[in-house]
Amino acid sequence: MKTITPLENEPSAWSPRIGETVTLHGMLYKIREMSGFAFLLLQTRAQLFQCVWSPDFSGFPLEGLRPGSAVEVTGLVAAEPRSRAGFELRLLTCQVLNRPVPEEPPVVVNNREIPASLETLLDYRPLTLRHQKERAIFRVQSALCAGFRQYLLENGFTEIHTPKLVSGGAEGGTEVFTFDYFGHPACLAQSPQLYKQMLTGVFERVFEIAPAFRAEKHDTARHINEYTSVDLEMGFVRSFYDIMRTETALIRSALAYVRESCAEELRLLGAEVPEIAAIPSLPFDEAKAKIAARFHRPITDPLDFDPEEEKLLGMLIKEETDSDFVFVTHYRSAKRPFYTMDTPGNPEVTESFDLLFRGMEVTTGGQRIHDWQTQTNKLRARGIDPAAFESYLSAHRYGLPPHGGLGIGLERFTARLLGFDNVRRTTLFPRDTHRLTP
Amino acid sequence: MKTITPLENEPSAWSPRIGETVTLHGMLYKIREMSGFAFLLLQTRAQLFQCVWSPDFSGFPLEGLRPGSAVEVTGLVAAEPRSRAGFELRLLTCQVLNRPVPEEPPVVVNNREIPASLETLLDYRPLTLRHQKERAIFRVQSALCAGFRQYLLENGFTEIHTPKLVSGGAEGGTEVFTFDYFGHPACLAQSPQLYKQMLTGVFERVFEIAPAFRAEKHDTARHINEYTSVDLEMGFVRSFYDIMRTETALIRSALAYVRESCAEELRLLGAEVPEIAAIPSLPFDEAKAKIAARFHRPITDPLDFDPEEEKLLGMLIKEETDSDFVFVTHYRSAKRPFYTMDTPGNPEVTESFDLLFRGMEVTTGGQRIHDWQTQTNKLRARGIDPAAFESYLSAHRYGLPPHGGLGIGLERFTARLLGFDNVRRTTLFPRDTHRLTP
């Protein structure tokens, strides 16, 4: 019998000292042959290092090395003011651990930009993600999730894992993917909505970061059919403003985390992370009127925004308040799901909100109905048989705290943060009406 | 326009001082009427508090209060050595924020145990999860995830979100749920296996905690059809022992996190969190022989364990080494998927392992094939057309580091940790061949 002891991991942040000899592993990113020597860019887990090969000190031939080779090198750290890091690595030895197939790749991914259409970028994802900038996008996304979770755990939220396989028509109405579950009709969850509400009666505050599935046929830059939803739900709210205040704190905290942990990625992407002190908020009707007045646009749909209006509202708020974010509140009842609480005294509108980030909706949230009778009545008023929601309503029967919550579209949020118009750019392997691979 | 400022959250850990007046919100858990006064147990986000109602100091009637009522109370903190916390709350005021429907619930959930079958426990999940012990299970599970992620982020792993909707037969062979994706056959991902491997060429180290779907018809205490998979994959491993050493460090770190953050939950559940210094490891064939010899059992299936053998091996290792964990290595090639690396010089067995925790497999892992030609050959040898894995193999073509990884079944791990035999007990809303609701 052997004994397995814990792996001692090398420290994540490595600060090389001039004059020391180090061993690094990584993927060869680029080889630039000069006259009599060569620059090799090595992509390590942390960053890209400039290495120098020269017959004067490198005890191995350059031949046979290609971008995509996995290598372990030893080298001497030498001062080099012209390299961004302030040093370069003079290669002494190089062990090749794996080689790519010797052929030209279909896309060049080691220049400053990838010269390819979005389609090509997505078709060759296993290759194109290796580009410095593509990789940086998803390191920021990883940090964003870590930042969200850090805030939530510190503020008493319990992480939950709710089922994605649900019985037919779980959330009512809208388009879902359906399949056969051992002889029973089933569908893929569009959100953890009903489960997270039920669980406010158990944990008071819950969150989940998980896939959500929408069978919508929209083929736009804002839509994908599988996305990552950052969901939270909290009990004992006094009003839906408490949820907006929580989201303000959550985003401020997550962006601070990103700023601190992804400085190099943000520089590479030329992204600016906004500072948040407070977020302006205005009711939907007022926002509609404001856009119409400022941009001389007629109001064609008084019940909802179109994407252009969201963009204009974002511009307008940025002008007026310098905020990249704006809350829009009191959406029309007719446009919100059955669990949304109507505004007391004005049942035409709801205790709900969206958050717009740089002109695009990234969050929908609001207070929910906690009273069993009120929820049952609202279902009936919408022509839905409460029996179809028996288990959901049982949570109301046993008593739920006043509660509300929100969902943030992770890919959309990342896109707005990093300045991408198409949400596919911030999805590792996007799924849309035309794309199921890679 | 309003301005939304960040919510100041109350501190998660509250240390009451004797003599102070506090305001708390929570759900009434239990009301015990005595002669002339009453005990009220209040379930807050953090814990259960003993409150006392008396006409002498409580300015509200007891009538109308029921378990399941959401309340905000003010009370005086008074010393009470007979309460576990060392104090009780003398209720001064009580505001009822929501009331349950006045009826007897179908299951009593505020006694020491829930007197119900597993079926009933699961049928009434929105109610039964409110029991102190049920709730504690999932607070431990939440902490376990937080502990896993803390280790992974500190050790250079990037969090990824891979698609759960994949084109037909993504991982080959075994049972998958299939559905129609805009006119194309699609299925639900059984694991992020192929994606996480591809991404070692991008990020070197990646992890994902996400749902996985298996259409297996097994109806056992160990199987559910949707589970949460804690997946990691790492590049530049020297051998699969590096992965086992990483898992040892990962679990040690996560269990320390649970021990620190869930003391009260662990006490409630009577659970003992094992200390890990090192984990014993032995090859599959040796383990088989050892079980046969020690328990005088014939070897019926020389290629795989049955659940009973895993249990016996766990007992045997516990006796010999006092370890609750044991790694079994070198599983037969015939029993491992196509991406598994065969052992050099002995292609009958593989560079793979399982981790058993208290007699049940909770992890499968191993080193994968990183060379394009080797992987292509192995697919062909198994009668699989490499064209079906074009995008996966493209990652090998462009060069991948030597890599490997593992997947931990979160519900199984939680079950072993807390001493439950049935994995449904550690799943909020389990899905099995008979159950798609709640």
Amino acid occupying residue B319: E
Searching chain B, which residue's CA lies closest to the CA of residue A185?
Answer: B436
| Total Cβ atoms within 10 A of residue A227 | 20
Per-residue pLDDT tens digits for A185-244: 999 999 999 999 999 999 999 999 999 999 999 899 999 999 999 999 999 999 999 999
pLDDT at A173: 56
Would you say residue B9 has pLDDT above 80? no
Contacts of A366 by beta carbon, 8 Å cutoff, 6+ apart: A240, A243, A336, A340, A341, A350, A351, A352, A353, A404, A406
Would you say residue B401 has pLDDT above 60? yes
Contacts of A426 by beta carbon, 8 Å cutoff, 6+ apart: A137, A138, A141, A411, A412, A414, A415, A418, A420
pLDDT at A7: 80
- Among the partner residues B101, B163, B242, nearest to A431 by beta-carbon distance: B163
pLDDT at B13: 58
Amino acid occupying residue B293: A
pLDDT at A83: 85
Per-residue pLDDT tens digits for B337-354: 999 999 999 999 999 999
Would you say residue A437 has pLDDT above 90? yes
* Distance between B275 CA and the closest CA of chain A, angstroms: 13
Amino acid occupying residue A187: C
* Distance between A136 CA and the closest CA of chain B, angstroms: 10
* Averaged pLDDT, B228-256: 98
Q: Do B45 and A203 touch (CB under 8 A)?
A: yes
Residues B420/B207, Cβ–Cβ less than 8 Å? no
> Which residues in chain B touch residue A231, judged by CB atoms under 8 angstroms apart?
none
> Which residues in chain B touch residue A208, judged by CB atoms under 8 angstroms apart?
none
Q: Quick one: what percent of chain B has pLDDT higher than 70? A: 97
**Cα B437–chain centre separation:** 20
Residue B322's SS3 state is coil
Would you say residue B173 has pLDDT above 80? no
- Among the partner residues A5, A68, A179, nearest to B245 by beta-carbon distance: A5
Per-residue pLDDT tens digits for B180-209: 999 999 999 999 999 999 999 999 999 999
DSSP state of A157: P
> Which residues in chain B touch residue A129, judged by CB atoms under 8 angstroms apart?
199, 202
Selected for mutation to probe chain A from B98, B250, B375 (highest A CB count within 10 Å) is B98
The residue among A173 and B334 whose pLDDT is bigger is: B334
pLDDT at B120: 97
* Distance between B5 CA and the closest CA of chain A, angstroms: 5
> Which residues in chain B touch residue A96, judged by CB atoms under 8 angstroms apart?
none
pLDDT classification of B12: cutoffs 50, 70, 90: low
* Averaged pLDDT, B274-282: 96
CB pairs under 8 A between A and B: 357
Residues A67/A107, Cβ–Cβ less than 8 Å? no
Contacts of B387 by beta carbon, 8 Å cutoff, 6+ apart: none
Token pair 């858990």 in the structure block, residue: B29
Amino acid occupying residue B226: E
pLDDT at A218: 87
Q: Do A428 and B161 touch (CB under 8 A)?
A: yes
Would you say residue A56 has pLDDT above 90? yes
Searching chain B, which residue's CA lies closest to the CA of residue A204?
Answer: B45
pLDDT classification of A15: cutoffs 50, 70, 90: confident
* Averaged pLDDT, A297-316: 95
* Distance between B221 CA and the closest CA of chain A, angstroms: 18
Residue B213's nearest CA partner among B181, B187, B189 is B189
Q: Do A201 and B27 touch (CB under 8 A)?
A: yes
* Distance between A312 CA and the closest CA of chain B, angstroms: 17
Burial tier of B302 (Cβ tally within 10 Å: 0-12, 13-18, 19+): exposed
* Distance between B133 CA and the closest CA of chain A, angstroms: 11
Searching chain A, which residue's CA lies closest to the CA of residue B176?
Answer: A181
Lowest mean pLDDT across A80-89, A328-337, A423-432, B401-410: A80-89
Residue B321's SS3 state is helix
- Among the partner residues A9, A245, A321, nearest to B6 by beta-carbon distance: A245
Residues A424/A432, Cβ–Cβ less than 8 Å? yes
> Which residues in chain A touch residue B158, judged by CB atoms under 8 angstroms apart?
138-139, 142
* Averaged pLDDT, B425-430: 98
DSSP string over B103-151: S--SS--SSSS--S-HHHHHHTHHHHTTSHHHHHHHHHHHHHHHHHHHH
Residue-averaged pLDDT of chain B: 95
> Which residues in chain A touch residue B429, judged by CB atoms under 8 angstroms apart?
162-163, 195
Strands B158-159 and B205-213: parallel
* Distance between B107 CA and the closest CA of chain A, angstroms: 11
Strands A158-159 and A87-98: unpaired
Contacts of B84 by beta carbon, 8 Å cutoff, 6+ apart: none
Residue-averaged pLDDT of chain A: 95
User: Angle A165-A170-A171 (CA atoms, 0-180°, nearest 5)?
Assistant: 125
pLDDT at A84: 82
pLDDT at A171: 59
pLDDT at B411: 98
Distances from the Cα of B286 to the Cα of A2, A41, A183, B407, angstroms? 12, 46, 43, 24
pLDDT at A13: 58
Per-residue pLDDT tens digits for B90-112: 999 999 999 999 999 999 999 99
> Which residues in chain A touch residue B156, judged by CB atoms under 8 angstroms apart?
9, 12, 45-46
> Which residues in chain B touch residue A5, judged by CB atoms under 8 angstroms apart?
245, 248, 277-278
Q: Do B72 and A236 touch (CB under 8 A)?
A: yes
pLDDT at A8: 74
> Which residues in chain A touch residue B70, judged by CB atoms under 8 angstroms apart?
235-236, 370, 399-402
pLDDT at A68: 96
**Cα B163–chain centre separation:** 21
| Total Cβ atoms within 10 A of residue B121 | 19
Residue B424's nearest CA partner among B105, B139, B123 is B123
* Averaged pLDDT, B280-288: 98
Residues A382/A339, Cβ–Cβ less than 8 Å? no
Residues B243/B234, Cβ–Cβ less than 8 Å? yes
